[in-house]
């Protein structure tokens, strides 16, 4: 599998936080359901705290990706939905989601009025790519 990450001249670069373009060849794609800041019992974690919720979401993403034979390094695209978004939330949220994992994926931030329940401030939709078949049930 080849993953190429590009920040071409003419597009604003945000090194270490996002890649403007990610191409993937010869891969198995892994799509996660939107991840929110809840624990394994469905209890909200860090209500009212964007950075705390992002940290819990990162833990949930790690668990989900590991079950599919992947890690955060394999993420090629993320969409981040944020309630009450302001630009000062960008770095705390991405800092928690990256937590030293590089290179960064292609990324989209979307400010929203609400998510499915009022305790949740962030939801992250992930697409990852690996060269091996993901474990689990085959349809």
Percent of the residues in the chain that have a pLDDT greater than 90, as a whole number: 60
Q: Where are the domains of the chain?
A: 2-130
Q: Encoding tokens for residue 99? A: 């937590």
Question: Which pLDDT does position 79 carry in this prediction?
Answer: 97
**What SS3 class is residue 110?**
strand
Q: Radius of gyration of the chain from Cα atoms?
A: 15
Question: Which pLDDT does position 44 carry in this prediction?
Answer: 97
Closest Cα to residue 93, out of 71, 123, 134? Answer: 123
Q: pTM (2 decimals)? A: 0.82
Closest Cα to residue 77, out of 135, 132, 22? Answer: 22
CB–CB of 120/36 below 8 Å?
yes
In CATH terms, is domain 2-130 a member of 3.90.1640.30?
no
Question: Which pLDDT does position 60 carry in this prediction?
Answer: 94
- What parts of the chain have a pLDDT lower than 50? 137-139
């Amino acid at each position: 599998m080849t993953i190429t990450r590009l920040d071409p001249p003419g597009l604003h670069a945000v090194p270490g936080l996002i890649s403007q373009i990610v191409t993937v060849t010869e891969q198995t794609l892994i799509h996660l359901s939107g991840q929110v800041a809840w624990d394994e019992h469905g209890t909200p974690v860090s209500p009212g705290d964007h950075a705390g919720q992002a940290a819990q979401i990162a833990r949930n993403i790690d668990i989900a990706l590991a079950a599919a034979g992947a890690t955060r390094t394999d993420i090629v695209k993320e969409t981040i939905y944020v309630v009450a978004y302001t630009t000062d939330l960008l770095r705390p949220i991405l800092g928690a989601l990256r937590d030293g994992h590089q290179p960064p994926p292609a990324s989209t931030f979307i400010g929203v009025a609400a998510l499915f329940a009022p305790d949740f401030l962030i939801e992250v939709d992930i697409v990852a790519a690996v060269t091996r078949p993901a474990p689990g049930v085959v349809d």
